[in-house]
Amino acid sequence: MSQEPVLAATTLFIRRWGEMGATWGISRTMAEIHALLYLASDPLCTDDVMEQLSISRGSASMNLRALGNWGLVQRVHRRGDRKEYFEAEKDVWQMFETILRERRRREVLPIVETIERCLALLSDGKRNNDGTKVKDLNEQEKRFRDILEFCDILNTFTELMSKVSRDEAKPLAAALQELVG
């Protein structure tokens, strides 16, 4: 079998994964490295990553470290070889659970904490107010509570998805799709 279709598919996927990562606020290079390691049959060393993606050692090292911090890439040591090798999580469900968990920790939880502080400030404002701005305070409070409700629902969905298997998720998705038409 020719390697051309494999190379073409690999190149296309890496490019698209990089573009998607960039829209999610992750560097394109980080996403491309992740895609490369996800598709790789064997763990790759930094030199392999640099060569295949035409990136610098600094960029490769920094992004491999970041992927490790996310829990998406693990270091692999080969006996008798001083190089560090890296491999990505191959289980798609585990990979997306890790991404969801990290995005929740890094993005959703900080905004929830901020909104809770904002609500406390509004509550203090209500207690110390002469009554002229209560309507504004109530409107702001409602908007903050709406965001908190959305984040709570999102967190619930995230937790549920992490607890169901692939086989359990399919009928759940079908039921939700039927519910919304």
Place of tokens 């970041």: 66
Domain that holds residue 34: 4-88
Q: What is the pLDDT along the chain (181 residues), one digit of tens a residue?
A: 566 999 999 999 999 999 999 888 889 999 999 999 999 999 999 999 999 999 999 999 999 999 999 999 999 988 888 899 999 999 998 898 888 888 888 889 999 999 999 999 998 888 877 666 788 888 999 999 999 999 999 888 888 888 888 888 888 888 888 988 7
Residues 122 and 138 in one domain: yes
Residue 85's identity, in one-letter code, is: Y
CB 109 within 8 A of CB 126: no
Check: CB of residue 34 under 8 Å from CB of residue 17.
yes
The Cβ of residue 57 has, within 10 Å, a number of other Cβ atoms equal to 11
Enter the pTM of the model.
0.80
Shared domain for 131 and 98, answered yes or no, is yes
The domain that holds 61 is classified in CATH as 1.10.10.10
Q: 85: which residues sit within 8 A by CB, 6+ positions away? A: 43, 44, 45, 75, 76, 77, 78
* Residue 19 shares a structural domain with residue 99: no
* Token couple for 14: 């890496």
Is 100 found in the same domain as 53?
no
